[in-house]
Amino acid sequence: MDTVYIETSIVSHATAWPSPDPVTAVLQDQARRWMAEQRPQFNVVTSRLVLDEAALGDADAARRRLAMLADVPILDPNPDVEAVANEILAQALMPQSAKLDASHAPTFGTTRPLECHNLQNLMPRTLLQPPSPVYNSF
């Protein structure tokens, strides 16, 4: 069974109130359907970073997000996450404003990231070409 890393945008979209914006509504529907229909086919994992992000904001929304993550195993902390995230930003593989997202990439390491709603930051085009030397360091 493949292991898939769930990051915050998936649970945020899956648990949010329906959006009147059609693009966001589609993302919400996709996230809800994936969690209901596809999740049982994978070994799903997350990280402390995701739990911390999911706990932020509106208390009711945070409760729904954390409830969805309650039975998801948490990856062991990787002591190199901050250094790798800083290197990703230093090499402009992600924008400086995406420091939190840069921390997800080395966190999920060798697991398969769910092709998520935040994919443009978590797996930018430059990382989908030949693997970046940054990723070879962990």
Which range has the worst mean pLDDT, 77-86, 89-98, 107-116?
Answer: 107-116
102 pLDDT tier (thresholds 50, 70, 90):
low
Task: Tell whether the model's pLDDT for residue 49 goes beyond 70.
Answer: yes
DSSP letter, residue 40: G
Q: CA-to-CA distance for 47 and 106, rounded, in angstroms?
A: 11
| Residue appearing with tokens 């195993």 | 73
Task: Tell whether the model's pLDDT for residue 130 goes beyond 70.
Answer: no
Is 3-137 in CATH node 1.10.3470? Answer: no
Cβ-proximal residues to 56 (8 Å cutoff; 6+ apart), any chain: 62
Residues in the chain: 138
At 99 the pLDDT is: 67
Predicted confidence (pLDDT) per residue in 1-44, tens digit: 788 888 888 899 999 999 999 999 988 998 899 899 888 988 88
Task: Tell whether the model's pLDDT for residue 50 goes beyond 50.
Answer: yes
Reduced to 3 states (helix: H, G, I; strand: E, B; else coil), residue 138 is coil
Where would I find the H helices in 57-135?
59-69, 81-90, 99-108, 119-122, 125-128
Q: CA-to-CA distance for 51 and 83, rounded, in angstroms?
A: 21
At 89 the pLDDT is: 72
The H or E element that residue 46 is part of is none
Tokens (6 digits) for 30: 């996709």
Task: Tell whether the model's pLDDT for residue 59 goes beyond 90.
Answer: yes
Question: β-pairing, 3-5 with 43-45?
Answer: parallel
> Edge-to-edge, what's the strand order for the sheet holding 112-113?
43-45, 3-5, 112-113
The structural domains of the chain, with segments of one domain joined by +, span 3-137
Total-model pTM: 0.68
